[in-house]
A and B are shown apart, each in its own frame.
Chain A
Amino acid sequence: GQNIDQPTEMTATEGAIVQINCTYQTSGFNGLFWYQQHAGEAPTFLSYNVLDGLEEKGRFSSFLSRSKGYSYLLLKELQMKDSASYLCAVRDSNYQLIWGAGTKLIIKP
């Protein structure tokens, strides 16, 4: 079967760095997405990786290793507004998105 694994919840301190991991087992691979979802709101796009390596976008970076079925989202200089759920999603061989359950990130002052 197809599976996306992420930690359920993480806690970090304002100003610090946090890494949210995602491992996947899917039938084929055609890209990996990270989305941010604030409580009561719709998900919004953060990043897309299709080749191995690190993609940096401001305070957020996303890394992919296809051979290991592994990705992480790195958030630097954490702000209180970064408190949200972070969803990992993989596009499989049929180009359908398989979604993880999300990681709830709690930022403490």
Chain B
Amino acid sequence: GAGVSQSPSNKVTEKGKDVELRCDPISGHTALYWYRQSLGQGLEFLIYFQGNSAPDKSGLPSDRFSAERTGGSVSTLTIQRTQQEDSAVYLCASSPEGLGGYEQYFGPGTRLTVT
């Protein structure tokens, strides 16, 4: 079956513009995660959805970042008034359940470059 997909694969934007990143999880996966990864660094947790609700938003770096998930499926991560430090690869992952020993399946990521 289809894996996790993300769009766009690459995004170049000017500082101060808003961007919207999209994630399509694996069908039936209830849990969805957003991460950020800077070059050569580990994964930085941003937000986690269980269904349409986000029990953990603790990783969002600032109030310029927001995310939503509709219909228990597609999720969008929005960054307002982008800054150069927002440049990174944004990874989305889904898993069958939020709790328990389930592995996360990652999408290919969106590479965001803020100029």
A contact set with B: CB distance below 8 Å: 30-31, 33, 41-45, 48, 50, 87, 89, 91, 94-97, 99-102
Contacts and interface: CB of A to CB of B under 8 A. Distances in A.
Given A45-B104, A45-B105, A96 B42 contact: no
B43 A43 contact: yes
Q: How large is the interface on B (under 10, 10 to 19, 20 to 34, 35 or more residues)?
A: 20 to 34
Which 3 pairs from chain A and chain B are nearest by CB? A101-B42, A42-B106, A45-B103
A23 to B, nearest CB: 15
B8 to A, nearest CB: 15
Contacts of B44: 99
Looking at chain B's contact residues, is the secondary structure mostly helix, strand, loop, or mixed?
A: loop
Classify the interface of chain A: helix, strand, loop or mixed.
Answer: loop
Contacts, number: 42
Contacts of A96: 45, 48, 56
Given A87-B43, A95-B98, A42 B104 contact: no
B108 interface: yes
B109 interface: yes
Contact of A99 (B45, B48, B56): B45
Contacts of B35: 99
Nearest to A91: B101
8 contacts: A42-B108, A43-B91, A45-B105, A87-B42, A95-B99, A97-B33, A97-B45, A99-B42
Nearest to A100: B42
Given A95-B98, A96-B48, 16 more contacts: A33-B103, A42-B106, A42-B109, A43-B91, A44-B106, A45-B105, A87-B43, A95-B99, A96-B45, A96-B56, A97-B33, A99-B43, A99-B44, A100-B42, A101-B41, A102-B42
